[in-house]
Amino acid sequence: MNKFDWDESHKELIDQFMQGSKEAFGKLYDSYAPTLLGIIKRIVKKDDLAESLLQNVFIEIWNRKQGFKASNEQFFNWIFKITRSMACEELSILSKNHVNKIQKDLSSVNEKDSAQNHTASQENYKGNKAFDMENDQQAALDLVYYSGYTFDEAATELDIPITMLTKKIKMAINQLKASNRG
């Protein structure tokens, strides 16, 4: 149970908020903002985005105040659900945008690759440098998909041509697809 829900003065504050008191809303903001910001940060993992989203969460709380029923749930649980829902929705949008960017980057790289007809073999690159394909594929996926690197940045980080990076990512994706089927 939330400590605020046991406090009578806090219950009065919630009642005033429900009646449209902006002053009560400000006090509730002061009480709950740090906790809700922490929840948002844990979900979206970006401080600047979390702070912006916190403002939107409180706007949503204000707009939905008539939906809160004290007899059904505690105030904190109600605002927690709103916060979590909005943060997860934002994370979903970020993920979709990231995947779309990666697909666009892959498409762009493939077009460049075709236009340049550049082929680099693993054996001939950098003085016959040997590569462990599985580790390199994992590293390529980690940089591009999980760390948010662009293809250019990932290729630089791995010290390989961008065409080889795209091949590694394609091979890794194909292996993942195959392992999911079987």
Q: How far apart are CA 167 and CA 152, in angstroms?
A: 14
Determine the pLDDT at residue 181: 61
Scan for tokens 């999980």, then name that residue: 146
Within the chain, residue ranges assigned H as helices are 8-18, 22-44, 47-63, 75-116, 133-141, 151-158, 162-181
Determine the pLDDT at residue 53: 92
Determine the pLDDT at residue 89: 87
CB 126 within 8 A of CB 179: no
CB 135 within 8 A of CB 142: no
Q: Does domain 118-181 have CATH number 1.10.10?
A: yes
Residue pLDDT, tens place only, 114-159 = 554 434 433 333 333 333 446 778 888 778 776 778 888 888 888 8
Q: Where are the domains of the chain?
A: 3-93, 118-181
Determine the pLDDT at residue 69: 87
Positions in the chain short of pLDDT 50: 1-5, 116-133
Q: Does domain 3-93 have CATH number 3.40.605.10?
A: no
